[in-house]
Amino acid sequence: MRGLSQIPGFRSLFGPAAPNPGATADEGLIGSVTGLPDGGRQIRIRSAAQARAELKRPDDGPTEQRRLLPIRHATREQGTFRAYFQKGRTLVRQDRWDLLARLIRETDRLRETSPAGIRMAEVLAAGARSDMVSSARKAIHCGAEPSGAWLTDLDGAAAEGGWPEAVTVARLHMDLAWLYHGDLPPVAQPRTPHPEFIRHFERAAQLLDGYSPIEEASPMLAEARIALLANDPAAPARMRDDFEDLIDLDPANPGPLRNFGLYMLPRWFGSDAEAIGDAAAQTADRLADIWGDGAYSWIWLDALSTEAETAAHCDAARFRRGLFDILERRPGQEVANLLAGFCALAMAPGRAPARLTPEARATRELLHAAAGPIIEHHMTEIRPEIWLRGARPALALPEEQVSPADLAADAAQIAAIVKARRSGALRH
């Protein structure tokens, strides 16, 4: 994720290395930071049961083994994202669209995703169009229109190729369209679309016309057609069927489930939060053999992060059960940190508006409390960048730009939680 490592003092937010690893000033807290020989950091934590046992021990001090949570800033997942992104960019720079198309098709066929649901075929395509998006961004910032010559050539190449080329160039048109409404990832459907927004989306729709996600068995193509809904007057009527098709194509991927709930918000294509609850319950029942109650939680996850008041219509108990169903089926540290970030940051009391209804506040409090057992029983390391993705659903591809001020504020919260939150003997 770009931007986080450039924040001045980000790592210092987690405190300097303790001068004496055996010191007890911060013991009993998640976030007592000690140095490692290789320059890394570890978090010393203990449970309430351990703390009580220590109080009964003689003055010669504790001898028990304590669990350490290392802080990892660079992870294998991030390296994988960058490798796929760079591969897509390099192939386009070499004009190897034929090889790029084969890689996208095969990666999509194998349903390769990150643990949190980011589609690696889309990362390839994002890298392929990144140079052109960067060039267009600079032109638009300067008040000029992006050069149309290279875009015309790409349109021609996409028309002559198969669906991987068409999806890549169609996504490029959608990227360019959104640039007219700001640099950051879109958080809502534009109320008054810019004329260029409409033009680029219409061209993207033309490129994808004639390709069927079902016939091609392509989740990537299904996601691209859902992205077209931003400029489709019939989007509210189509959205649910389109998402059900996508989920059927890739039911084990949490990404479509998360976007389903997000797009059901009124700021996108939905009507009210009650409809999200109905869709989440029906989808969870349909996918119970894969996710247990986890699909219910995935559908609500980004909707709750985005609109606090929707929590009044969420079944908090089922959501909480779903969190641990997810962790049982996806025990990796990326998912554990993502869900911990959601519970600890996105559901934090300070993020809720003052006039939140008691029902919504109670749901958020229950989910916020789930951070404890997730950290205690499912985490073996702290990944601050992944916590930020849990708190901010728009953070997806590694090259998306994020406000440094927002990241710094969230990083400070993570540091406070990691350093000061007591690790209780919590159960679920």
* Distance from C-alpha of 399 to C-alpha of 378, rounded to nearest angstrom: 29
> Which residue type sits at 125?
A
- How much is the pLDDT for 97? 94
Residues, the chain: 428
Buried residues in 105-118 as b, exposed as e (16+ CB within 10 A) = bebbeebbbbbbbb
Encoded tokens for 192: 């008054």
* Distance from C-alpha of 225 to C-alpha of 223, rounded to nearest angstrom: 5
Encoded tokens for 57: 């021990």
pTM of the model: 0.80
Closest alpha carbon to 185 in 352, 6, 343, 406: 406
Closest alpha carbon to 163 in 203, 108, 112: 108
CA 389 to chain centre: 5
Encoded tokens for 395: 């953070």
- How much is the pLDDT for 140? 87
- How much is the pLDDT for 43? 40
Which residues lie across from 29 on neighbouring strands?
Answer: 422
The 3-state DSSP class for residue 41 equals: strand
Closest alpha carbon to 360 in 313, 319, 299: 313
- Is 225 within 8 Å of 113 (Cβ atoms)? no
Encoded tokens for 426: 């919590």
> Which residue type sits at 218?
S
Sequential DSSP letters for 289-303: HHHTTHHHHHHHHHH
Sequential DSSP letters for 301-318: HHHHHH-GGGGGGS-HHH
- How much is the pLDDT for 112? 93
Cα separations in angstroms, 355 against 110, 313, 358, 377: 46, 16, 9, 34
- The 8-class DSSP code of residue 185 comes to P
In a structure prediction context, what are the per-residue pLDDT tens digits for the chain, which is 428 residues long?
Answer: 333 343 334 344 443 333 333 333 332 223 333 444 444 444 444 333 443 444 444 444 443 344 567 777 767 777 888 899 999 999 999 999 999 999 999 999 999 988 777 899 999 999 999 999 999 998 888 888 887 778 888 888 888 899 999 999 999 999 999 999 987 678 888 989 999 999 999 999 999 998 999 999 999 999 999 999 999 999 999 999 999 999 999 999 999 999 999 999 999 999 889 999 999 999 999 999 999 999 999 999 999 998 999 999 999 999 999 999 999 999 989 899 999 989 988 998 888 888 999 999 999 999 999 998 998 899 888 887 777 777 665 444 444 445 556 656 666 666 666 554 434 333 33
* Distance from C-alpha of 266 to C-alpha of 142, rounded to nearest angstrom: 33
- The 8-class DSSP code of residue 238 comes to H
Closest alpha carbon to 271 in 315, 223, 313: 313
- How much is the pLDDT for 410? 66
